[in-house]
Amino acid sequence: MGFVRSIFQRRPKSSAIAKERLQLVLVHDRGFSPQLLETLKSEIIAVISKYVEIDAEHIDVKVTRTERQDRLVADIPVRRAGVR
């Protein structure tokens, strides 16, 4: 059955796979490994938590790229500002 399925199942085009693999490998090459991002994320949480209450579950830290400029973007949901 697996054989029959493999004939009819549409495999993703190899150019799409190539592009995805490139983008992943370049994140590493450019110095932002997933480990580094995890470390950054936990330290950002620690610092910001000192001042405001944040939703640590839904923090999103990522690297975006525009015209050869890497940009570290942190999206941090705030539960309640410390000072009102």
CB of 41 to another protein, least distance (A): 25
Interface positions with another protein (CB under 8 A): 13-16, 18-19, 21-23, 25-26, 29-30, 65-68
In terms of CB distance, is 23 or 49 closer to another protein? 23
CB of 66 to another protein, least distance (A): 8
Tell me 30's DSSP state: T
- Contacts of the segment 22-30: beta carbons below 8 A, 24+ positions apart: 27/63, 30/63, 30/70
Cβ count near 25 (within 10 Å): 10
In terms of CB distance, is 6 or 14 closer to another protein? 14
Say how far apart CA 82 and CA 52 lie, in whole Å: 5
In terms of CB distance, is 15 or 35 closer to another protein? 15
